[in-house]
C-alpha cells in the first residue's frame, strides 16, 4: 500500500484517538467490535462512528461484518500512528521519497529540522512474497497466536537492538536513532547496494573485508543468515556497511553451521561471477589433515572460537538457550573447584546409599535367624534330652502349642456354625421369594401361556 503522507496533515486528534483505540482493541481481538472502539475512545460528543467512517474512507481501517460489526488496522493506519509518534518526539519533521522496497519492509527518506536526511524503515511482514515468517523467523518464540502487525513490531524491535549493539562493538552498521511500533529510524548510508556495483578498484580488498565481517560476527556469537550482495552497502571509497539484521541467530543455533556456510558461499559465488575472481579450494592430505590454508581459502565454522564477546547472550538471539547462559556464567566465574566438590558429594551420596542397601539386607537376615532358633527349640522339645533336663523354656513352648491347637479347634467350630447359619438364611430367602411377572406378560393374554395356567388351576381344584 502506497504511503500518502498528505492525508496525515488533515487528521485531527479525534482521528488519532480512534486509531489508537482500534490498536488497543487488537491486543485481544482480530476484529475489534464497534462498541468496544466507542468505549475505548470515549469521545466527548459521541462522534466515534463519524470518525470511523472518515478513517475508512482513507483506508486507514478495514471494516468486517462477517461475524459482527468491527474494524481492524491496516498497515497504512499503523504507519500513521508510528509517524505521528516520531514527529511528536522530534525525531524528524518531513517524509520524503521511497528509496527501497524489500520482501519484509519499505524504506523512505526523512529529514530533521536542520535538514539532516535519515532513513525510515517500515516493516511490512505478511506480503505475498514472504508469508512463511512463522517457520523462517523466530519472532513468535513460545506464542501461538499472532497477526502481521504484531510480527512487524517484533521484527523492528529486534533489528533496532541488533543495530545498537553492533554499533557499540565497532561494526560498520547504520546509526540507530529511534524505534516505535514497526518503524525504525537510522542514519542514511551514502552508498550503493553491492548488487548494483559493476566494477571495483580493489575487489580482493573488499572481498577480504566482507569475509572478515562474517568471521568477526561469529567470534562475537552471531550469524547474519542473510549476508549477500543485497544487504551490503558500499560507497565511493569502497567502504563496506552491512544492513538488515532481524534474522540474525546465535552460533549455538542448531543450524548455525549451515547458515554460516551459506553466507560464505553467497559471497564467494557473487565475487566469482561478478568480478571473475578465482578461489583455491581446500585440499586434504593423505592422513586427513588439512594443508595450510591460503588467504583466499574458505573459513570453516569449526575453526572459529567465541573470544570477542557474547552478543548472542546480550541480545537473546535465537538458538541461545538457558543452559548456554548458565554454562557461560559458570565459566566466567571460574567454578571449576565447585564441580570437583559436587562430584565428591555425589560419590559420598552413592556410598551412603550402598551402606543403606547393605543394612536393609542385614535387617532381612534377622528374622530368618530367629526362625532357625525356633526350629532348634522344637527339636529340643521332641528330643529325650529335653524331657530329661526339663527346661522351663521348653515347657513354656509346649504350653503355647497346646493353646494354639485349642484356638484352631475353636475357630473350626465357629466356621462350621457360621456356614450352617448362612445355609439356613439362603433357604429361607428362597422360600419367601415371590415370582415376578415379566415385562412382556401383557403379550401372553389369550395365548398358550394363559390357557396352560387355567388348566393347572382346574387340576389343582380336582
The backbone region for 77, taken as left when phi is positive above 0, alpha when psi lies in -120 to 50, beta otherwise, is: alpha
Q: What length is written for the chain? A: 462
Three cell numbers at 439?
415385562
Nearest-CA neighbor of 325 among 250, 375, 214? Answer: 250
For residue 72, the cross-strand partners are 62
Nearest-CA neighbor of 125 among 64, 63, 78? Answer: 78
Angle at 345 between CA 339 and CA 348, to 5 degrees: 145
Beta strands in 325-367 (DSSP E): none
DSSP state of 278: -
- Annotated active-site residue 226? The verdict is yes
- Asked whether the beta carbons of 240 and 233 are under 8 A apart, the reply is yes
Instruction: Provide DSSP, 6-43.
Output: HHHHT--HHHHHHHHHHHHHTTS-SSEEHHHHHHHH--
Identify the active-site residue in 15, 79, 106, 226. 226
Three cell numbers at 129?
512474497
Three cell numbers at 429?
430367602
Say how far apart CA 232 and CA 242 lie, in whole Å. Answer: 5
Q: For 235, what's the count of Cα atoms within 13 Å in the CB-facing half-sphere? A: 9
DSSP state of 128: T
Say how far apart CA 305 and CA 215 lie, in whole Å. Answer: 10
**Greatest C-alpha distance within the chain:** 137
Task: Give me the sign of the Cα torsion angle 204, 207, 209, 211.
Answer: negative
Say how far apart CA 337 and CA 111 lie, in whole Å. Answer: 58
Say how far apart CA 205 and CA 173 lie, in whole Å. Answer: 19
DSSP state of 318: B
Nearest-CA neighbor of 127 among 158, 154, 148, 156? Answer: 148
Catalytic residue positions, numbered: 226
Amino acid at each position: 500500500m502506497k504511503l500518502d503522507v498528505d492525508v496525515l496533515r488533515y487528521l485531527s486528534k479525534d482521528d488519532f484517538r480512534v486509531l489508537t483505540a482500534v490498536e488497543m482493541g487488537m491486543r485481544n481481538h482480530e476484529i475489534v467490535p464497534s462498541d468496544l472502539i466507542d468505549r475505548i475512545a470515549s469521545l466527548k460528543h459521541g462522534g466515534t462512528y463519524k470518525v470511523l467512517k472518515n478513517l475508512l474512507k482513507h483506508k486507514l481501517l478495514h471494516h468486517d461484518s462477517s461475524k459482527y460489526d468491527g474494524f481492524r488496522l491496516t498497515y497504512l493506519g499503523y504507519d500513521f500512528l508510528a509517524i505521528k509518534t516520531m514527529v511528536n518526539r522530534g525525531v524528524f519533521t518531513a517524509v520524503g521519497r521511497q528509496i527501497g522496497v524489500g520482501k519484509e519492509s519499505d524504506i523512505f527518506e526523512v529529514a530533521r529540522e536542520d535538514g539532516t536526511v535519515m532513513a525510515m524503515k517500515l516493516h511490512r511482514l505478511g506480503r505475498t512474497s514472504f508469508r512463511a515468517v512463522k517457520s523462517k523467523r523466530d519472532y513468535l518464540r513460545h506464542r501461538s497466536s499472532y497477526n502481521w502487525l504484531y510480527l512487524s513490531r517484533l521484527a523492528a524491535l529486534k533489528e533496532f537492538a541488533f543495530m545498537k549493539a553492533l554499533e557499540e562493538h565497532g561494526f560498520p552498521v547504520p546509526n540507530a536513532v529511534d524505534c516505535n511500533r514497526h518503524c525504525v529510524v537510522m542514519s542514511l548510508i551514502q552508498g550503493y547496494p553491492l548488487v548494483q556495483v559493476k566494477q571495483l578498484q580493489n575487489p580482493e580488498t573488499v572481498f577480504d573485508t566482507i569475509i572478515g565481517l562474517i568471521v568477526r560476527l561469529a567470534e562475537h556469537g552471531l550469524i547474519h543468515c542473510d549476508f549477500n550482495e543485497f544487504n551490503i552497502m558500499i560507497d565511493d571509497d569502497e567502504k563496506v556497511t552491512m544492513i538488515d539484521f532481524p534474522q540474525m541467530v546465535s552460533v549455538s543455533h542448531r543450524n548455525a553451521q549451515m547458515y554460516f556456510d551459506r553466507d560464505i558461499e553467497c559471497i564467494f559465488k557473487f565475487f566469482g561471477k561478478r568480478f571473475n575472481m578465482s578461489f583455491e579450494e581446500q585440499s586434504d592430505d593423505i592422513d586427513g589433515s588439512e594443508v595450510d590454508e591460503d588467504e583466499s581459502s574458505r573459513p570453516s565454522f569449526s575453526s572459529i572460537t567465541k573470544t570477542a564477546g557474547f552478543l548472542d547472550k546480550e541480545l537473546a538471539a535465537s538458538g541461545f538457550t538457558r543452559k548456554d547462559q548458565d554454562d557461560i556464567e559458570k565459566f566466567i566465574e571460574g567454578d571449576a573447584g565447585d564441580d570437583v566438590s559436587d562430584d565428591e558429594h555425589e560419590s559420598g551420596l552413592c556410598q551412603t546409599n550402598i551402606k543403606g542397601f547393605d543394612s536393609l539386607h542385614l535387617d532381612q537376615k534377622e528374622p530368618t535367624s530367629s526362625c532357625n532358633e525356633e526350629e532348634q527349640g522344637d527339636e529340643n522339645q521332641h528330643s529325650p534330652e529335653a524331657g530329661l533336663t526339663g527346661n522351663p523354656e521348653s515347657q513354656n513352648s509346649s504350653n503355647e502349642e497346646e493353646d494354639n491347637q485349642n484356638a484352631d479347634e475353636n475357630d473350626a467350630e465357629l466356621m462350621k456354625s457360621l456356614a450352617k447359619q448362612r445355609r439356613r438364611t439362603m433357604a429361607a430367602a428362597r422360600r419367601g421369594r415371590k415370582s415376578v411377572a415379566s415385562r412382556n406378560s401383557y403379550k401372553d393374554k389369550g395365548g398358550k401361556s394363559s390357557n396352560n395356567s387355567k388348566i393347572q388351576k382346574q387340576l389343582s381344584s380336582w
